[in-house]
Amino acid sequence: MHIHILGICGTFMGGVAALAREAGHRVTGCDAGVYPPMSDQLRALGIDLVEGYGADQMALRPDVWVVGNVVSRARLPDGSPRYPLMEAILESGARYTSGPQWLAEHVLHGRHVLAVAGTHGKTTTTSMLAWVLEATGQQPGFLVGGVPVDFGVSARLGTGGQFVIEADEYDTAFFDKRSKFVHYRPRTAVLNNLEFDHADIFDDLAAIERQFHHLVRTVPSSGRVIVNELEESLARVLHEGCWSEVRSFGAAVSDFTAQGEPGGFDVLLRGERVGRVDWDLSGTHNQLNALAAIAAAEHVGVAPAQAAAALGRFRNVKRRMELRGESGGVRVYDDFAHHPTAIRTTLDGLRRKLGPAGGRILAVFEPRSNTMKLGAMKAQLPWSLEQADLAFCHAGGLGWDARDALAPMGVRASVADSIEDLVAQVVPAARAGDHVVCMSNGGFGGIHARLLQALSAR
């Protein structure tokens, strides 16, 4: 089969492309701004890429067009279509589908799908679960919205009967406004947490809870729903109806609980010690992620003791508190955190790991997600940055006043309208022993390398 993917350089669609190519299909694709590293990864797989969305790509005549959710029916100011190729596909009557639908029909069908959903921690928990299954001989397939260090790739078919997938609540395509995860039909579903996010497509938290309940409806009675019992929003989701076995984690009365610090803890199943995790990860959020992965692995026959031992060898995911370098005694990290709660848990985890005498934390962040750009959570930013000694915000392109939003932090917060100005603020403020945490869900203008270069030149 020849598939042509519109929006191929996105993390999810790039993963679909890699899986399709591994399965033996001919894969081509297009995107706006085809650039490394995704372009290099795809071309290394033998996937031809086209820049832009020109209608001349109709000459490729694939068996099916796979449409990413970046594509819309939007028009440019002059009235011309933003995506001429999509208009040509619709006019021609050619066969088209979404990435999640193609994945469900051609990769997931017939396999035991383990899906990890949640506002935060999806990528890390999915990676943990895939690693546990791999370390215990299951050889799972997986699709992750990042690159697990233990695998070096974001997606693979695997030879076992299980497939682990990051289950995103964002919508599927312009013609299918359901959440992506509704297509996956999991037998094991992790509901890790649930907060308001994606203000560009959801009106309120209740709208997202409704989508999570749609996911719960697809789990068979012999399946398992694994739920974070600390989350009232998830309690409301299950209250709407659940027809499967439920296993809980997180709260003192949950099935799976942890005893000890996040860096080393016993795993308890209904109060009985069943394993121990000793690892380099920090933060209560990762402790909870581990419990979710252990509960999910148990559903496919992996004993909690085995899962806990495997997690002791887990090396995390790129861009999750990834140390990018050190210069002049200043350590620079890269982290994907962009929602206020994720920013707070990331900084809390580092503060807890460092201890009171472990050096200052300098938080460098950009409100880049659609939700943050809309200003829906700007009031939570001071709360999210409480553990930072200093905070530096890149405010270029925002439609709201970052200086006003960060005013409660006083002199601890600085705002810059360009990456150059941001670097110029951070470097003089940094001193030996500091930890500079750069947080964004994008490339952040290569700020990590710029900071390290500027620090070494001072």
The annotated binding site for ATP is made up of: 118-124
List C-alpha distances in Å: 12 to 167, 172, 271.
Answer: 10, 11, 38
Q: Residues 452, 334: contact at Cβ < 8 Å?
A: no
Q: Residues 324, 332: contact at Cβ < 8 Å?
A: yes
Question: 3-class SS at 331?
Answer: strand
> What type of residue sits at position 161?
G
For 116-141, the three-class secondary structure string (H helix, E strand, C coil) is: EECCCCHHHHHHHHHHHHHHCCCCCE
Binding-site sequence positions = 118-124
Q: Residues 191, 364: contact at Cβ < 8 Å?
A: no
CA contacts within 13 A on the Cβ side of 53:
25
List C-alpha distances in Å: 71 to 55, 75, 181, 409.
Answer: 14, 11, 19, 39
Triad 58, 59, 63: Cα angle to 5°: 70
Residues 6+ apart with CB under 8 A from 453: none
Q: Which two tokens stand for residue 172?
A: 């599927």
